[in-house]
Amino acid sequence: MDYYTIAQAADTTFTEKRSEFIGYLAPVTTNDEAVAFINEIKAGHRKARHHVYAYILRDGNTSRYSDDGEPQGTAGVPVIEVLQKRGLTDVCCVVVRYFGGILLGGGGLVRAYSHSASITCDAAGIRHMCDSIPLTLRMDYTLYGKVTNILPKYGVLEDSCDFGTDVLLALHVRAQVAEDLCKELTDLSAGRIVIERGAPDLADFAGAGV
């Protein structure tokens, strides 16, 4: 099943009315990994007033959050809503707040925690993970141009291309369109393209199009 997650761990910081908000985002796949990440951030910011967190996992369709002492609904909920609106999973976000002495009010807290989570997601980047099939295509040079003309409509990921005696093209294609692509390649070349399939796996199709 396709899903969206982050491309890399990230951290950001901004200040609102003298309170410093530091956002941390990391890829996690289990509850234990999420808890370990939260504890790691807490250990690194022992003097902070709040360590608000939210995480969403594919494993067990799990989602959890904590306001960590902020008024109910003003911290953990805004953070997890940012993750949900972006469709992210297998991620854990922790927002550390160093209190600056000025109360922000309920609305101010919601905006601050939402902003922290949002800019940290932006910094981390997005991966669109899809069920995919690795394909290796072996063809003569007369077919290469025709093949490269049709590949974009399938949104393939090109892994490598070797120009030797023949052209050897390695790529990933989404599982749901693999059969259609193979059929079009076979028809295009009258069976002259040798197609080898690898084991199904997951690949990042963010930015691949289609």
Q: What is the CATH number of the domain that holds 179?
A: 3.30.70.240
Question: Token pair 């007033």 is at which residue?
Answer: 49
> Going residue by residue through the chain (210 aa), what tens digit of pLDDT does each one get?
799 999 999 999 999 999 999 999 999 999 999 999 999 999 999 999 999 999 999 999 999 999 999 999 999 999 999 999 999 999 999 999 999 999 999 999 999 999 999 999 999 999 999 999 999 999 999 999 999 999 999 999 999 999 999 999 999 999 999 999 999 999 999 999 999 999 999 999 987 765
How many Å apart are CA 62 and CA 205, to the nearest integer? 24
158, 162, 168, 169: CA torsion to nearest 10: 10
Tell me, yes or no, whether 188 and 107 share the same domain: no
Number of domains in the chain: 2
Tokens for 77?
């909920």
Q: Which CATH number is 47's domain given?
A: 3.30.230.30
Which pLDDT belongs to residue 210? 58
Determine the structural domain holding residue 142 and report its residue range. 130-204
Predicted structure pTM score: 0.85
